[in-house]
Amino acid sequence: MTDIPWLTLAIALPALGGLGVALLPREKAELAKRVTLGVTLATLVLVAAMASAFVPTSAERLQFTEVYPWIPRFGVSYAVGVDGIALLLILMSAVLVPLVVLAAWRENDDADDRGKGYFALILVLEAMMIGVFAATDVFLFYVFFEAMLIPVYFMIGRYGRGDGRRRAAVKFLLYSLFGGLLMLVAVIGVYVYGGTFLWSDLVGPEGGLAGLDTSVARWLFLGFFIAFAIKAPMWPLHTWLPSAAGSSRPGTAVLLVGVLDKVGTYGMLRYCLELFPEASAWFVWPVLVLSVISIVYGAILAIGQSDMLRLIAYTSVSHFGFITLGIFAMTSQGQSGASLYMVNHGFATGALFLVVGFLIARRGSAQIADYRGVQKVAPVLAGSFLVAGLAGLALPGLSPFVSEFLVFIGTFAAYPVPAVIAAIGVVLAALYILWMYQRTMTGPTPESLAKLRDLSKREVWAVAPLLALIVVFGVYPQPLLNVINPAVAETMRQVGTTDPAPEIDAAGLSAEGQEGETE
Are 93 and 134 in contact, with CB atoms under 8 Å apart? Answer: no
CA–CA gap between residue 341 and residue 171 (Å, rounded): 27
Question: Does residue 90 contact residue 343 with C-beta atoms inside 8 Å?
Answer: no
Q: What angle do CA 190, 205, 491 make, to 5 degrees?
A: 85
Residue among 88, 90, 103 nearest 36 (CA): 103
Residue 149: CA atoms inside 13 Å, Cβ hemisphere, count?
20
As a whole number of angstroms, the distance between CA 288 and CA 195 comes to 32
Taking the alpha carbons of 100, 101, 107, 111 in that order, is the dihedral positive or negative?
positive
Residues 384 and 406: beta-carbon distance below 8 Å:
no
DSSP 367: B
Given its phi and psi angles, is residue 330 left (phi above 0), alpha (psi -120 to 50 degrees) or beta? Answer: left
pLDDT of residue 89: 94
d(CA 191, CA 133): 20
| Nearest one of 155, 174, 175, 176 to 165, comparing CA atoms | 155
- Give the amino acid at 393: L
Specify the length of the chain in residues.
519
Per-residue pLDDT of the chain (519 residues; tens, 9 = 90+): 557 898 999 999 999 999 988 888 877 878 888 899 999 999 999 999 999 999 988 888 889 999 998 888 888 889 999 999 999 999 999 999 999 998 887 776 555 556 778 889 999 999 999 999 999 999 999 999 999 889 988 888 888 777 788 888 888 888 888 888 999 999 998 888 888 888 888 886 666 576 778 888 899 999 999 999 998 888 888 888 888 887 888 888 888 888 888 888 999 988 988 888 888 888 989 999 999 999 999 889 988 888 888 888 888 888 889 999 999 988 989 999 999 999 998 899 889 989 888 888 888 788 888 888 888 888 999 899 999 989 988 888 898 899 999 999 999 888 899 999 988 888 888 888 888 888 888 888 888 888 888 888 888 898 999 999 999 999 999 999 999 999 888 888 887 777 777 665 544 544 444 444 444
pLDDT at residue 288, rounded to an integer? 93
**Which of 348, 382, 347, 346 is closest to 362 using CA atoms?**
382
What residues pair up with 68 in beta bridges, in sequence order?
Answer: 78
- Dihedral (Cα; 333, 334, 340, 341), 10-degree rounding: 150
DSSP for residue 76: E
The pLDDT value given to residue 517: 45
Question: Residue 41: how many CB atoms within 10 A of its CB?
Answer: 14
Q: What is the pTM of this model?
A: 0.90
Longest CA–CA separation in the chain, Å: 91
Q: According to the model, what pLDDT value does residue 519 have?
A: 45
Cβ–Cβ < 8 Å for 273, 327: yes
